[in-house]
Structure 1
Amino acid sequence: MKKLSLADTIFIFFAALVLTSSLAHAEKTEKILRIATTVPPITNIVENIGGPLVTVSGIVPNGMDSHTFEPVPTDAKTLAHADIIFVNGMSLEVPTIKLAEKVKKPGTPIIRLANETLPEEEWQYDFSFPKEHGNPNPHLWPNIALTIRYVEIIRDRLAEHDPRHADIYAANASTYIAKLTQLDQAIFACVNTIPKNSRKLVTYHDSFAYFAPRYGMEVIAAIQPASFTEPGPRDIVHIIEQIKREKIPAIFGSEVFPSKIMEQIARESGARFVDELSDDELPEKPNHSFIGMMVNNIEIMTEALGGDSACASHVDAGNLLD
Structure 2
Amino acid sequence: MPDGPNTLLDLNQRSREVFRQLVETYLATGDPVGSRTLSKAGSRTGGVTLSPASIRNVMADLEELGLLSSPHTSAGRMPTEAGLRLFVDALLQVGDLTDDERAGIESQLSGSNRTADGPLAQVSQTLSGLSHCAGLVVAPKRQARLKQLEFVPVSPGQTLAVIVFEDGSVENRIIDTPRDMPASSLTMASNYLNARLKGRNFDEAQRRVQQEIDARRAELDELTTRVVEAGLAVWSGTDAVSGSAGRSLIVRGRANLLEDVQAQEDLERVRRLFNDLETKEELLQLLTLAEEAEGVRIFIGSETKLFSLSGSSVIVSPYTNAENQIVGVLGVVGPTRLNYARVIPIVDYTARLVTQLVR
TM-score, normalised relative to structure 2 = 0.23
